[in-house]
Each structure stands twice: as structure tokens, then as C-alpha cells.
Structure 1
Amino acid sequence: MHMLYNSSSFVVVQFEVQVDEPRPGELLKANPELQLHRGGFEIVDKFARKEIFIEGALAQQFQDGVEALIEQDPSEEDLDDFIEHYARMGHQPVVMH
């Protein structure tokens, strides 16, 4: 778990999950891109008090968009606007235990 972003509006945390590799086989040795890689991003909207966990293709799209935005030296407002598009999909309420 790695906190990537924390503003007055949003928190973005990256999760990288280690997946035990299946028994080595010729197919996996020849094609390492077929091995399992898990992880994703948790986005918390502080004002709406909702969160979403994105993974797979959506997480890759999010990461690519953030990297492209970072190259433009964005303001906090620019980053919040970008993150808001993903945060709107969040329906899970944030609950304190």
C-alpha cells in the first residue's frame, strides 16, 4: 500500500498484491506477460464520503492518465478534476471502525 495523493478533496492509494506464481511451465517461462499481476487504486472522495477500488484495465487507464497529467506540471485543482471523474463511480460509503 502506497499513498500517492492526498488533497483536501481526495486520497489515492495504490495497492500492489503479490500473487504466487503457479508451477513453472514452459508457457509461462516463454510468455512472462501471462503471469498474474494484481493491484489497483483506492480513491476516496472526502466530501462525498465514498470510495472506489479500481483494478485491471480501468486502473491502467487511470495510471496512464495521471502520468500524462504529471508531465504537464499540474496544479492541485487539475489533479482533483482528473481524479473526480473516477471518484464519481464510487458508491461504497466510507465507514470508520
Structure 2
Amino acid sequence: MHMLYNSDNYAVVQIDVVAEQAALGRDESSLTRGGYEIVDKFARKELFIEGALAEQFKEGVDALIESSPSVEEFDAYLEMYAGLAHHPVVMH
């Protein structure tokens, strides 16, 4: 677990889960699985993203970092994802 970002409004933590084979000490491909936890401090909501959405998030963060964003710009980017935590989970 790695704290990537922490502001007054948001925190972002990268969570890496080692694949079962690597955890057993086998010398096969060391695939990892994980994602990002985004915490909206004011709304008191957390969101865990993984897979394609996590890749999209990472690419957006990498592009944003290239422009040396302010805290407000970075928080605005996180707000797009944090909004997902306000939607209830619905099973069909």
C-alpha cells in the first residue's frame, strides 16, 4: 500500500495485491493485481477502482503530472472519480 496523494479534500492510495503464484514463492511470472483507493474526505466516501478503470485513472494522472498541476487542478481531476462513490450499487 502506497500513499500517492494527500490533500485537504482527497487521498489516493495505491494497493498492490501480489498474485497467488508469487505469494507461494513460485518463480513464475510475478503478476500483480491491485488498484487505487480514492478517499473523499469531506463526503466521507471511499472508492476502490481496479482493472481498466484503474489504468484509465493512472494514464490521466500521468498526463496531469506532466503539466505540473496545482492542488486545485489535481483535486478537480479526482472529483471526477470520487463522484462514482455517490452512486449506489445496483444488481440486475
* TM-score after normalising by structure 2: 0.81
Structure with bigger RCO (C-alpha 8 Å, 6+ apart): 1
Aligned-residue Cα RMSD (Å) equals 1.9
Residue 91 of structure 1: CA displacement?
Answer: 4.0
- What residue is the counterpart of 2:7 in the other structure? 7
What's 1:26 paired with?
Answer: none
- Structure 1 segment 44-83 matched on structure 2, within 5 A: 44-83=39-78
Identity of aligned residues (%): 59
Letter in 2 for 1:86: Y
Name stretches of at least 5 consecutive residues in structure 1 with no aligned partner. 23-28, 93-97
| Structure-1 residue corresponding to 2:90 | none
Three-state SS of the structure 1 residue aligned to 2:19 is: coil
Larger radius of gyration: 1
Runs of 4+ more than 6 Å apart:
none
Q: Which amino acid aligns with 1:47?
A: F
Gaps spanning 5+ residues in structure 2: where? 23-27, 88-92
> What is the number of equivalent residue pairs in this alignment?
82
Q: How does the TM-score come out when normalised to structure 1?
A: 0.77
SS in 2 for 1:4: strand
